[in-house]
Amino acid sequence: MKTTLNLNDKVLLQAKEFARAQGVTLTRFVEDALRAKLIPVARSAGGYRFDPPIVRGDKSPAVDVADRNELYDFLDRE
């Protein structure tokens, strides 16, 4: 179907350049862009949320966690 659209000059130039770089026609580029915008975004039922437990202590750490080797040695002892 043919139709007429009034587009911003800069947007149209960008679209033409992008289409040319992708090796597609402007029509194909616009159709693909419209399809991408019209497809409903898949939403997960609840999503995943990482919620680690927070443990507060009153002693200083038994190991310097900034020292990877010391941390691994400590974990291997446990």
**pLDDT at residue 78 in the model:** 64
**pLDDT at residue 61 in the model:** 76
Tokens of 32: 């693909």
Query: Residue 33: which residues within 8 A CB-CB, separation 6 or more?
Result: 15
Give the span between the Cα atoms of 65 and 61, in whole angstroms: 8
The C-alpha R_g of the chain, in whole angstroms, comes to 28
Query: Residue 29: which residues within 8 A CB-CB, separation 6 or more?
Result: 15, 18, 19, 22
Average pLDDT per block of 10 residues along the chain, 78 residues long: 92 96 95 88 70 85 85 84
Q: What is the number of other CB atoms lying within 10 angstroms of the CB of residue 71? A: 14
